[in-house]
Structure 1
Amino acid sequence: MRRTVIALALTAGLSGGALPLYAADNDADTEIPADKQGRKAKDLGTITVTAVPLGQQADQIVAPIAVLAGAPLDEAKAGTLGETVSTIPGVQTTGLGKAVGRPVIRGLDGPRIAVLENGLGAQDVSSISQDHATAVEPFLADQIEVLKGPSTLLYGSGAIGGVVNVVDGRIPMTAPANGFSGRAEGRYDSGTQGKTGVFRADAGNQQFAMHVDGMRRDDGNYDIPGGSQANSQVKTTSGALGASLLGDWGYAGLSISRYLNQYGSPAEPGHAAHPGHEHDEAPVHIKLAQTRYDIKGGFNRPLPGIAKAEVSFGHTDYQHVEFEGSTPSTTFTNKANEGRLVLTHQPIAGWEGAFGAQYVQRNFAAVGAETFVPATTTRGWGVFITEQREFGPIKLELGARTDRQTATPENSPRRTFTPSSFSSGLAWRFAESWHASINLDHAERAPAEEELFSHGPHAASNSFEIGNPELKKERANQAELALHYHGDVVEGKVGTYYNRYHDFIYLADTGEAEDGMPVRQWSQRNATFRGWEAEATVHLTKAWNLRIYGDTVRATLARGGGNLPRIPAGRLGAQLNWSRNDLRASIGAVQYFAQNNTAAFETRTAGYTLVNAHAAWTFYNGQHSQWEAFLDGNNLTNRKARLATSLFKDQVLQPGRNVSVGVRAFF
């Protein structure tokens, strides 16, 4: 099987004479209406990326970006954000069962990856520990945007590794074309005997629009090869209400949303699984609750020389409680305010661009028997500018940002950082079907509170963490070179990057134990990340196409310091797609190679191949509604799979064979 997958991918790549591109645009020639986005894939050239200024489409942006929308998003949607975006080259996931999975972009995770909801931070505590879930629901997304590499110009130092922006339309910016639109979905998962239900409705006219959505997931312990993963159950509920005023002047709206999640930690399944371990006497589970209030507006021509002003503000009240059995152990809270102002100016001497400011305040606390991070107030503000201009076949992008961030822990001295970032990107269309791009970035990041101030046991992650309050800010210099090809038969892209960090911060295993837990210490040292990613879509016939992709990253410490821990394994995948009239289907396999380049005291992971299949049948396609039945199969050969990125890879297997069946409706 492994040889077959590799041979298939190499043959397809070489036959096209080009190498890969991320293809959210398979089988799409024209844009479909916004209220029917699930019917088919959308053309990547018709998708407006909201995470960058100027209302640009994905194929107009020099910096590396990928977008999931339409049918590819429907097929990729999973219980975690990390798993949902993990089919994108260069993007993988951390993992703790089916409840927790945060995106890993080019080997970087945690506080280096900004997770956004409609352009504002999720403001959960998922970056603090790998057992903490994100409070963003991918099943309610209209599209998911992934900015690879440093995106600190727009979102601050917490985006030094990239951005994942979930766009869910909870604050309407326009009204549905026919006054009303919506969608609904129900599915059953054989691997968990679980059920998921989703609904969304939008209504309005030229002056006013409203939005409502809701989601419920109830999964039991998931199947693994040879049995069941204990304590892996998940129950999730999410919903929102939103409304906007609309007009030629723009829009202004607000929304309120609620997210509830209760899940077990399969790394801590209870005494029976780990006899004699004092922290395994009762299974650990987490109850999470977040309430979010958002205000957002876009105003056309508000001032002379300003084409558009966009303002957004979010207030988040987050809490999760970790239980050992029925006993509350530690409570994490985070109350945050974030505001952004982006002003797009009129063209000046051929230059188009935007400038703006951002403010964030986080009040984080952890209270209980295992408080390993002290209560910390973090404040940050930043100003930024980004400009672009075309010189014939050449497009140039430039940008700069500076921030000031303070972290004030309870009963400890305040730390203050002033990170600054600069970027440049150039794209050259040297032939009708070919263009090349190069991106050069300098980015800086202030250490996060857990890296600075943690000290103590954390049962849910089975770690005794030790921070370093003397950490310096990180500084990174990155270069990326990419080659793109867009032909009638083949579309492809190949990219390579080199990222050199000064004072890189990482969580190192010490080989020691405290309170029966492995001791992990936040350390700092120069490091280098280098890798490549590639993708191609080969249009074999009108009905058939073949997608292939691959990626790898190598991360090492300077001066013979060895490998960095928990770096993604290289992979190579292929997917054969077929569509005709009201039917579409696909089958694919991805080979995850063994990860032998591990850090001290880190376990190696074996290679494995995952085989997946999807099928959908549109059984009713009326003037105002469409109904679709679908069948999804994952890990069909029931292989044992462990994520190299996971802190819990030795204790927790990924799900085994599972099949989902359901119905979607668009109206």
Structure 2
Amino acid sequence: MRRTLSAIITLTFSIIVNAQISGIITDKNSSEKLVGATVYIMELDKGTTTDTNGRFTLKNIPDNEITIQISYIGYQTTYIKWSPESNQYDLSISLEHVMIRHEEVVVSAGFSDTQHRNAISVDFLDNKQISSSPAISSTQLLAKFPGVDVAGGSPAESQPVIRGLSGTNILMLNNGIRLENYQFSRHHPFIVDEYGTERIEVIKGPASLLYGSDAVGGVINFIKELPAATNQMEAVFGSRYFSNTNGFNTTMAVKQSSENFQWGVRGVVKSHGDYHDGNNNAIPNSRYTSKALKNFIGYNFKNGSTKLFYDYSTDNIGLTIGGIDTITLGDSNNPIVYYQDLENHFISSKTTLFIGNTKLNANFGYQINKRKEIEIATAEEDGIAINSQLNTFNYELKAQTNLSDKIKSIFGFQGMYRNNANHEAEGKIIPDADLLDLSGFGFFQYTPNDKFVMQAGLRYDYRSLDVPLQERGSHEHGETTEETAHEEEYIELYRNFNNISGSIGATYNLSETSLLRANFASAFRAPNLAELTQGGLHAGRHEEGNMNLEAQRSYEVDLGLHNHHELFTFDISTFYNNITNYIYLAPTGIIEDENPVYEYRQTPAGLAGAEAGIHYHPSSAKWLHIKGTGAYIHAQQKDGSPLPFIPPLKGNLEIKIEKDNWAFLKRSFFQIDLDLASKQNNPSEFETVTNGYYLVNAMAATELNPGTINIELSVSANNLMNIQYVDHLNLLKDLGYYNMGRNISIGLTARF
């Protein structure tokens, strides 16, 4: 009996001891111990750093396969797939010093795996690139990706465009949960903030089956920042000044982690005046202000983790419309007439649980989006033209398991309930409505050997849209008669949409440095509430829905080639996207109350294009980096006429000089880059030709390390030559307004 009890105690103690992983991290060539390297468990969102001896310890490790990420500035990030079966609890890891990092793990494609092992190509920006960017708004950051453009007026009033598709053809995710905030209009930006973001991942095209049927254009995922290292508290202050808008972006944050508990809080304030073009003309009412508060708490246990997030923001975004230049707007950065008053609450939770060799995820989100459009308030009236509220509940349940040593799988269910309600105001653009989404999916990865990876999946989506009988928007077209009165003034609609999406793709390694990637995907998108029912004067034009619209169906083929060496990387990809029943908004030629009337139409369409990128680091000049990217899209209707709002051929050339140590300065660099856009001489029937342009930009940055504080300093100049130009996707082009002129920004970030 005593021997049995002793054996049980010994086994129990052994399990407790084995519930942690330790190790040492060194330089591969010199064997020097690396102090301050980051060691992070991706599945638990938990990590630590190495001590003065280069050692680390990770406790409460689940009895399941996990991905350990080891990173250090100037070294190639390393990933270890660890499992209890390996019986390795004391690791010795060597990192290789590299000039060009060429492989990172991405999470938006489904499996936490490197870019080279995903059939779906995923681009990303990391937190260093995000924090040092001189972009005024989160959307402007996305223009760094080839094939991704920004359509907009003011910096805050802009939307991403992926391979010629925008609006509800794109899914924007806040930490993996889809954002819902009236994304039907050119004036409605996604409400997501770049501060507190660890990385931004972009999937181009309909290949992703994990997030919803609406992702026919692509997916953009803002992934939240990592918690503090275990048993540490971290704080940050950052501020950046922008000369063109006389504006500031400022953030403060603090976060702390123990062995099991994590918490963090961050505040963000942005304030910008009207931007100026290359002739120093102010673009009236392009100003905006924004305030945000972000909080999270989390708990890690042996077989999983759970985290709760709350994001709150309030934004006042000016509307630049026809005739606004004749109104007194004042000198303040705060809009006072014709602006969007937005309030957004986003509560979400993410829970991971390991059971046997299965990883379970339960993710939930609840969003409250309050939207007001303010015209001119008087003593008698509050000037509220639109007052609506969108409540959205999202859920996702999925299981990831290894069916064999070569086959991984993900099965899941997703759902969404959305309610739109109009409150007291002059009018309503879209009616009160309820929307219900239900979906299920399965996704598989087959890896027969080190050279070949295949991924395939299917997804089923069901959507019901219920618009109860109610008074329609705030205007009528033409003379109303007894026969047309009911049709003009009331609306009622109930429609169901359902279909299957699918994808299949593969990555094949031609050699240790080259790989081919191919993917075929088909997805559908149901028409949204605005496209079916919209009616009313909205930001200077009447927009009319079409209740007879059918769902879009997309068929896309992607082919890509990647090549990487120690001093060189090269990527090229090409695609063709055939869309049946493509939905777009077009002018009717009718003018009502001095405002043009637009309506939603459908047509078969085809979009084809290519993207390429090169990064070269000469061996004879270790301080020099040369990068180049380019993207081209050709899009047309079945009859051969061009689709609207398609960007022209664009390219970027960047030359960067960097030095790790220079006197007391650390990781300093200077870069100059050239943005090129060709003439768009193939516009749609209601667009005009847009001339090409070039922009010269420059940036310098460095770091200081006084004591335990890390200080990052940067200065940049966008459109250094102060060129007066207009981009083809400029929403203010028809009003005769140009894009932003020279903008010099100065940034400081202090980490404690």
What is the TM-score when the length of structure 1 is the normalising length?
0.89
Q: Which residue of 1 aligns with 2:90?
A: none
Q: Which residue of 1 aligns with 2:385?
A: 329
Cα distance, 1:151 vs structure 2? 4.2
Do 1:81 and 1:102's aligned partners in 2 also have CA atoms closer than 8 Å?
no
Listed one character per residue, the Cα deviations across residues 129-173 of structure 1 (whole Å, up to 9, x for unaligned) are 11112210113311111111114511111111101111124xx7x
Residue from 633, 636, 644 that aligns with 1:565: 644
Q: Which residue of 2 aligns with 1:279?
A: none
Q: Which residue of 2 aligns with 1:5?
A: none
Cα distance, 1:369 vs structure 2? 2.8
Residue from 578, 583, 600 that aligns with 1:522: 600
Do 1:41 and 1:72's aligned partners in 2 also have CA atoms closer than 8 Å?
no
Matched, 1:587 2:692: no
Measure the CA separation in 2 of the matches of 1:519 and 1:602.
Answer: 15
Measure the CA separation in 2 of the matches of 1:191 and 1:31.
Answer: 38
Q: Which residue of 1 aligns with 2:717?
A: 633
Listed one character per residue, the Cα deviations across residues 336-381 of structure 1 (whole Å, up to 9, x for unaligned) are 0001112101233621121111111111234533422212211101
Listed one character per residue, the Cα deviations across residues 370-421 of structure 1 (whole Å, up to 9, x for unaligned) are 4222122111011111111123311111011001001112321211000211
Cα distance, 1:49 vs structure 2? 2.4
* Corresponding residue SS for 1:650: helix
Matched, 1:442 2:522: yes
Change (3 A) 1:390 1:639: same
Do 2:117 and 2:507's aligned partners in 1 also have CA atoms closer than 8 Å?
no
Q: Which residue of 1 aligns with 2:119?
A: 62
Greater relative CO, 1 or 2 (CA 8 Å, sep 6+): 1
Extract structure 1 runs of 4+ deviating beyond 3 A. 25-28, 30-33, 40-44, 365-368
Cα distance, 1:178 vs structure 2? 4.7
Do 2:102 and 2:569's aligned partners in 1 also have CA atoms closer than 8 Å?
no
Cα distance, 1:325 vs structure 2? 2.4
Change (3 A) 1:621 1:557: farther
Measure the CA separation in 1 of the matches of 2:551 and 2:161.
Answer: 21
Measure the CA separation in 1 of the matches of 2:501 and 2:126.
Answer: 30
* Corresponding residue SS for 1:72: helix
1:109-128 superposed matches below 5 A: 109-125=166-182, 127-128=183-184
* Corresponding residue SS for 2:188: coil
Q: Which residue of 2 aligns with 1:145?
A: 201
Cα distance, 1:593 vs structure 2? 1.2
Change (3 A) 1:366 1:86: farther
Do 2:247 and 2:271's aligned partners in 1 also have CA atoms closer than 8 Å?
yes
Residue from 444, 464, 467 that aligns with 2:542: 464
Q: Which residue of 2 aligns with 1:490?
A: 568
Change (3 A) 1:203 1:197: same
Matched, 1:546 2:626: yes
Do 2:458 and 2:501's aligned partners in 1 also have CA atoms closer than 8 Å?
yes
Change (3 A) 1:44 1:268: farther
Matched, 1:194 2:250: no
Q: Which residue of 1 aligns with 2:360?
A: 309
Matched, 1:103 2:160: yes
Q: Which residue of 1 aligns with 2:577?
A: 499
Matched, 1:246 2:297: no
Measure the CA separation in 2 of the matches of 1:441 and 1:300.
Answer: 31
Do 2:120 and 2:208's aligned partners in 1 also have CA atoms closer than 8 Å?
no
Residue from 52, 63, 75 that aligns with 1:29: 75
Root-mean-square deviation (Å): 2.3
Cα distance, 1:44 vs structure 2? 5.4
Measure the CA separation in 2 of the matches of 1:518 and 1:442.
Answer: 36
Measure the CA separation in 1 of the matches of 2:300 and 2:100.
Answer: 26
Matched, 1:263 2:343: no
Q: Which residue of 1 aligns with 2:39?
A: none
Matched-pair identity in %: 26
Change (3 A) 1:297 1:269: farther
* Corresponding residue SS for 1:86: helix
Q: Which residue of 2 aligns with 1:409?
A: 467
Do 1:314 and 1:338's aligned partners in 2 also have CA atoms closer than 8 Å?
yes
Q: Which residue of 2 aligns with 1:134?
A: 190
Q: Which amino acid aligns with 2:244?
A: G
Matched, 1:45 2:103: yes
Measure the CA separation in 2 of the matches of 1:196 and 1:139.
Answer: 10
Listed one character per residue, the Cα deviations across residues 25-60 of structure 1 (whole Å, up to 9, x for unaligned) are 999433499xxxxxx9994524x4232333223333
Residue from 409, 415, 430 that aligns with 1:373: 430
Q: Which residue of 1 aligns with 2:738?
A: 653
Cα distance, 1:613 vs structure 2? 1.1
Listed one character per residue, the Cα deviations across residues 551-579 of structure 1 (whole Å, up to 9, x for unaligned) are 0111100034x111111121011000111
Larger Rg: 2
Change (3 A) 1:42 1:547: closer
Cα distance, 1:648 vs structure 2? 2.8
Residue from 452, 461, 467 that aligns with 1:394: 452
Q: Which residue of 1 aligns with 2:657?
A: 578
Change (3 A) 1:617 1:49: same
* Corresponding residue SS for 1:348: coil
Measure the CA separation in 2 of the matches of 1:101 and 1:269.
Answer: 21
What is the TM-score when the length of structure 2 is the normalising length?
0.79
Do 1:44 and 1:57's aligned partners in 2 also have CA atoms closer than 8 Å?
no
Q: Which residue of 1 aligns with 2:693?
A: 608
The size of the alignment, in residue pairs, is: 618
Cα distance, 1:180 vs structure 2? 1.7
Q: Which residue of 1 aligns with 2:19?
A: none
Change (3 A) 1:27 1:577: farther
Cα distance, 1:427 vs structure 2? 1.0
1:218-257 superposed matches below 5 A: 218-226=271-279, 227-257=281-311
Do 1:26 and 1:41's aligned partners in 2 also have CA atoms closer than 8 Å?
no
Listed one character per residue, the Cα deviations across residues 408-465 of structure 1 (whole Å, up to 9, x for unaligned) are 123212110002111011111112221111111111111111111112211x2x2211
Cα distance, 1:472 vs structure 2? 1.0
Cα distance, 1:641 vs structure 2? 3.0
Listed one character per residue, the Cα deviations across residues 101-140 of structure 1 (whole Å, up to 9, x for unaligned) are 2211000000010011000012212x21111122101133
Measure the CA separation in 1 of the matches of 2:384 and 2:363.
Answer: 36
Q: Which amino acid aligns with 1:325?
A: I
Q: Which residue of 2 aligns with 1:475?
A: 553
Residue from 601, 609, 613 that aligns with 1:535: 613
Measure the CA separation in 1 of the matches of 2:541 and 2:407.
Answer: 51
Measure the CA separation in 2 of the matches of 1:533 and 1:600.
Answer: 26
In structure 1, stretches of 5+ residues that fail to align are 1-24, 34-39, 275-281
Measure the CA separation in 1 of the matches of 2:134 and 2:114.
Answer: 22
Cα distance, 1:608 vs structure 2? 1.0
Q: Which amino acid aligns with 1:627?
A: I
Measure the CA separation in 2 of the matches of 1:80 and 1:419.
Answer: 36
Do 1:510 and 1:601's aligned partners in 2 also have CA atoms closer than 8 Å?
no
1:275-294 superposed matches below 5 A: 283-294=337-348
Do 1:77 and 1:138's aligned partners in 2 also have CA atoms closer than 8 Å?
no
Q: Which residue of 1 aligns with 2:14?
A: none
Change (3 A) 1:584 1:337: same
